[in-house]
Structure 1
Amino acid sequence: MALSSIELLDDARRVDSFDCGKPALNAWLADFARRNQARGIIRVLVIHDEGTVVGYYGLAPDVIQPNSAPRAIRTGRPPDPIPCLLIGQLAVDHRYAGQGIGSGLVKDAQHRCVAGADIVGGRAVVVRAIDAEAERYLQSWGFIPARDNPAGLMRSIQDVSLWLADKGH
């Protein structure tokens, strides 16, 4: 097994055999990831094993309504809507589960979100959990549910930045 570093999805990467156990996430990678990236909608970052994608996530700009944001994100006078960065479609192939790939992807995504917010602004990192298992996983990373939708989780950019600095990541 020769896992790559995290890199942008390109045409050389094989996605057809990817299986995280969640058909919607498998289908998104196979059917929409490249097209959405080519259209400038999202950036898809992957880890591959000799060219076959074994983990991925997407990054995109996003906005949330102030009434859905927790207090830590609404503090002060945020704009309406509040600019954010979205971590989307995070998944790891079930054959590679338990090897730290998911953790590596989440850390990388948070680093990129902080760096992006430093360049263009952004008040929070937002994720949309596909199911209750994903909600629990994301909450273990410090994401808190939106006030109006528990599947929408968020964490302030300031909190992420402090966490990364404290952990030495």
Structure 2
Amino acid sequence: MKNENLINLTVLPLEELSLKKNSFSCSVKALESYFHQDASQDVKKRLAKCFVLIDNKQSKIIGYYTLSALSVPVSDIPQERIKKGIPYPNIPAVLIGRLAIDDSFQKQGYGKFLIADAMYKIKNTTVGSAILVVDAKDDNAASFYERLGFIEFEHLETKHRKLFYPLAKIIK
């Protein structure tokens, strides 16, 4: 992503989007389908908040991500990363449940931009959260998150790789 393009970008809550959602096209059909068919309902039901990255100059949807609340057992976090003295069995977290970039904007830094936007929103909210969690749908997604500093959870029996990013000083 070029710096001169930053001036043309806006991140909006889904409910403020004026562009047609069906203009968004993603090679990961589950992410495309979710955005077209389910995201609005999840937002209305308060199951997730969805944020959409817009290129104002081209009037195009670049990508989106969703945030929702999560509670993570302390035992799922690698023990060497936990500072002593956490008196609770679970810690508060935020989940990026979905993150997708339109096919025409792939490999240009917009995924990283959306992760940074999510972190900014989380750190400036009035709700506490110690970690940011992502579900990596495949090895390419896991590699992307690892390059951004995300750490894999230990001992999780899930179909997707789960990773986290420390947001609080209680996690190293």
Q: For 2:165 and 2:129, how far apart are their aligned partners in 1? A: 11
RMSD across aligned positions (CA) = 2.3
1:94, distance to aligned residue in structure 2 (A)? 1.3
Q: Please point out which of 128, 144, 159 is paired with 2:135.
A: 128
Tell me what 2:152 maps to.
Answer: 145
Tell me what 2:22 maps to.
Answer: 16
1:34 and 2:40 correspond: yes
Unpaired runs of 5+ in structure 1?
Answer: 163-169
Secondary structure of 1:76's aligned partner: coil
Q: For 1:151 and 1:133, how far apart are their aligned partners in 2? A: 11
* Aligned residue pair count: 158
Q: TM-score, normalised by structure 2?
A: 0.81
1:60 and 2:65 correspond: no
Kindly provide the amino acid, as one letter, of the partner of residue 10 in structure 2: S
**Hey, which of these two has a bigger chunk of helix by percent?**
1
Secondary structure of 2:168's aligned partner: helix
Unpaired runs of 5+ in structure 2?
Answer: none
Q: Please point out which of 122, 138, 154 is paired with 2:164.
A: 154
Q: For 1:138 and 1:84, how far apart are their aligned partners in 2? A: 17
* Distance verdict in 2 for CA 1:151–1:139, change over 3 Å: same
1:141, distance to aligned residue in structure 2 (A)? 0.6
Q: How high is the sequence identity, in percent, across the aligned residues? A: 27
Q: Deviations over 1:102-124 (max 9, x none)?
A: 121111111112223xx221111
Q: Deviations over 1:69-119 (max 9, x none)?
A: 123246431522221011221110111113321121111111112223xx2
Structure 1 stretches of 4+ moved >6 Å: none
The answer to whether the 8 Å contact 1:3/1:47 transfers is no
Tell me what 1:167 maps to.
Answer: none
The answer to whether the 8 Å contact 2:129/2:168 transfers is no
Bigger CA radius of gyration: 2
Q: For 1:115 and 1:66, how far apart are their aligned partners in 2? A: 24
* Distance verdict in 2 for CA 1:74–1:125, change over 3 Å: farther
* Distance verdict in 2 for CA 1:75–1:126, change over 3 Å: farther
The answer to whether the 8 Å contact 1:15/1:29 transfers is yes
Tell me what 2:101 maps to.
Answer: 92
Kindly provide the amino acid, as one letter, of the partner of residue 108 in structure 1: D
Q: For 2:52 and 2:84, how far apart are their aligned partners in 1? A: 34
Q: For 1:54 and 1:36, how far apart are their aligned partners in 2? A: 20
Moved more, 99-108 or 130-139: 99-108
